[in-house]
Amino acid sequence: MDAELGAFSMNRLATKQYTVASPLSFTGIGVHNGQPSSLIIQPAPPNSGLSICRKYEDGHMSDSFALVHDRVARTYLCTAVDLGDSGTISMIEHVVSALSGLGIDNALLVVDGPECPVLDGSAQKYVDAIVENGITLQPAEKKFIKIKRSIIVRSNDAFAALEPYNGRAFDVEIDFESNVIGRQRMIFDWTPARYAEDVASARTFGFMRDAKVLRQAGYALGSSLENSIAVDEDKIMNTDGLRYEDEFVRHKLLDAVGDLALAGMPIYGKFRSYKGGHALNALVLNGLFASEQNYEIVGASDLPLEFDALQDLPHGINAESYIRSVG
């Protein structure tokens, strides 16, 4: 950031769209198929949003597809998107959560297989790489989908809801029949710095009692204590324990940030969920887009005080202006 830019200018710049400053590569395995997988996050032009394409062994690339809710192909255990003739890519929610959580508007994901790498089961490695390499502020105003009418979708006693709210908030509650999880609730008023601090490192989790059935069905073949919290009845199998006391609900919130980014733009409003997951997250977006009366698209400068959460970037991140000052 140029030294002569004062607080007011920073405020104005924070309302600009962001992309990653340089391509970022990640390699690992797919938690479900157990196969090696790599992913590159590439910078993308203003107003292009988040999109995805598949890269094949011979180097050729599929078309790229916008990461939006009507491309969701499956929501069992993770969120998978449909790339037409190039099949599906699953487990997109953690990398998309990192991008949306840090307020990145435009990026292209290049994935070399049918599943994104699980890495450590959280969004931490994506966030660390983005913070280390910086973001580029782009010459276009940040846009939001502002919720105008409440939408709620239910499945038995579980629900997901979007409501009008002056801010970008997530209120997520879970309730599991396990003493190490039980009932946990997290209310999160989004800023990029808070996402990096309080959400990004929460890992996915699973129950030992489900593992055998899942593996027989071809899922969780790559899951291990390196990339998941394993819960066996009332104890945690990971020798290092938890990263947060309520890591489970924080991970559900991480998933929700990723799934809701498939609105195509950040949502300005409140998301609430009880016993939710990928399926209800996808359904609430379908409900949102079922009527144009439910929302409107607004620019950051139309929001109260130009939405000052945008100024709270993670410590140490370099936000470089796309248009540099001369001299």
CB of 191 to Zn ion, least distance (A): 21
Closest CA to 129 of 67, 80, 196: 196
Residue closer to Zn ion by CB (options 20, 199) is 199
Footprint on residues 134-173 left by Zn ion (CB under 5 A): none
On whether the CB atoms of residues 23 and 72 are closer than 8 A, the answer is no
Burial 95-104 (b: 16+ CB within 10 A, else e): bbbbbbbbbb
Stretch touching Zn ion by CB under 5 A, among 40-48, 82-90, 197-205, 228-236: 197-205
Say whether residue 124 binds Zn ion (CB under 5 A). no
Rg (CA), the chain: 19
Residue closer to Zn ion by CB (options 151, 256) is 256
Q: Which of 69, 94, 251, 278 is catalytic?
A: 278
Residue closer to Zn ion by CB (options 42, 204) is 204
Say whether residue 273 binds Zn ion (CB under 5 A). no
What separation in angstroms does the CA of 259 have from each of 8, 111, 211, 271, 308? 33, 18, 24, 11, 24
Closest CA to 98 of 62, 72, 63, 133: 133
Residue closer to Zn ion by CB (options 48, 204) is 204
CB of 112 to Zn ion, least distance (A): 21
β-pairing, 80-82 vs 143-147, is unpaired
Sketch the per residue contact string, 50 through 89, with Zn ion: x for CB under 5 A, - otherwise.
----------------------------------------
Footprint on residues 300-319 left by Zn ion (CB under 5 A): none
Residue closer to Zn ion by CB (options 17, 204) is 204
CB of 101 to Zn ion, least distance (A): 13
Stretch touching Zn ion by CB under 5 A, among 33-41, 109-117, 198-206, 224-232: 198-206
Phi/psi-derived region of residue 261, left when phi > 0, alpha when psi is between -120 and 50, beta in every other case:
alpha
Q: Looking up tokens 């489970």, which residue turns up? A: 248
Say whether residue 255 binds Zn ion (CB under 5 A). yes
Residue closer to Zn ion by CB (options 126, 165) is 126
Strands in 36-43's sheet, in edge-to-edge order, are 24-29, 36-43, 107-111, 50-54, 65-66
Stretch touching Zn ion by CB under 5 A, among 24-32, 79-87, 193-201, 250-258: 250-258
On whether the CB atoms of residues 300 and 308 are closer than 8 A, the answer is no
Stretch touching Zn ion by CB under 5 A, among 68-76, 177-185, 196-204, 290-298: 196-204
Say whether residue 204 binds Zn ion (CB under 5 A). yes
Stretch touching Zn ion by CB under 5 A, among 23-31, 211-219, 249-257, 310-318: 249-257
CB of 94 to Zn ion, least distance (A): 6
What separation in angstroms does the CA of 204 have from each of 54, 117, 122? 24, 13, 6
Give catalytic status of residue 315 as yes or no: no
CB of 102 to Zn ion, least distance (A): 17
Q: Looking up tokens 């790229």, which residue turns up? A: 64
- Residue 128 CB partners (closer than 8 Å, separation 6+): none
What is the set of active-site residues? 278
- The residues that touch Zn ion, with contacts defined as CB under 5 A, are 204, 255
